Amino acid sequence: MPTPPPTGPLVTRDSLASDLRALGVEPGEILLAHSSLSALGWVCGGAVAAVQGLLDALGPDGTLVVPTQSGDLSDPSHWGNPPVPRAWWDTIRATMPAYDPLVTPSRGVGVIPETVRAWPGALRSAHPQTSFAALGPRAAEVTEGHARDCRLGERSPLARLEALGARVLLLGAGYDTCTSFHLAEYRIPAPRVGSGRPGPGGWEVVSEVSIDSDRFDELGHDFERDRPVVRAKVGASDARLFPVADAVAYAERWLPVHRSRAQEV
């Protein structure tokens, strides 16, 4: 049976940039984008055209930032999708390649961030599991100084983005992907956990603040109800635009009331 033709809409580099400008993306700003390519429609040129459209909307003075997480650089004893046999764990820990910002691929964040990561001139932060990549004149300012024991806290690009007045773009992605909410977790009581991963000198275990996106969809719903969030269609996707600082401040108040983890500390 023949494959049915795509239903569209047809999205191009130019139409994407136009939709982003209509949403309110401003030339010269710093934009933290969480995205779903498939949600946009049928994109002529795929992820490359999507990145080009984002860069066109930001202009030469703007900076595009994306999450380039590599959570597979982790302890195999915690893997569940899929799990691996216990007998393999020690060998995996001994042979897993250490994080290299130039070559380690991103995982679980979509094809647009992976395309940005590999883009000429992109810079990437140093955390082995929760890095960010950036393109533009403020890229170094955003990505430098990401501490290896601070996934998404005060010594991560999120805190730098907050201080620089960056905005979040949810491009066909939900609030469960909104990394800015995690910065709030570092500012309220939260448990610490040991995080295992390959390091420059072999397997290492680092103490980190425990992060959890549980109920972020509810948090996002309330945030959007109470704070100004710009919404519009970009291609076929629902897009949202709001300041990083607003999201962090709201989450700092919301999380202790609705999802307190203080008792776990």
Structure confidence by residue, pLDDT tens digits, 10-42: 999 999 999 999 999 999 999 999 999 999 999
pLDDT of the residue at 260? 72
The conformational region for residue 27 under phi > 0 = left, psi -120 to 50 = alpha, else beta, is beta
- Whole-structure pTM value: 0.94
β-pair type (63-67, 123-124):
unpaired
Query: What is the phi-psi region of residue 97: left when phi exceeds 0, alpha when psi lies from -120 to 50, beta otherwise?
Result: beta
Backbone torsions φ then ψ of 235, nearest 5 degrees: 60, -130
pLDDT score at 79: 93
Q: Please tell me the predicted confidence (pLDDT) of residue 263.
A: 46
Token representation of residue 217: 């969809």
The two structure tokens encoding residue 138:
């403020």
> Hey, how many other C-beta atoms are within 10 angstroms of the C-beta on 263?
7
Please list the ranges in the chain whose pLDDT falls under 70.
1, 261-265
Order of strands across the sheet with 167-171? Answer: 123-124, 132-135, 63-67, 30-35, 167-171, 237-243, 230-234
User: Which candidate, 182, 168, 190, 240, places its Cα nearest to that of 23?
Assistant: 240
Residue 147: predicted pLDDT: 96
What's the pLDDT at 265? 44
What is the per-residue pLDDT for 261? 65
Pairing mode, strands 30-35 and 63-67: parallel
Q: Tokens in use for 263? A: 């008792």
Q: How far apart are CA 160 and CA 164, in angstroms?
A: 6
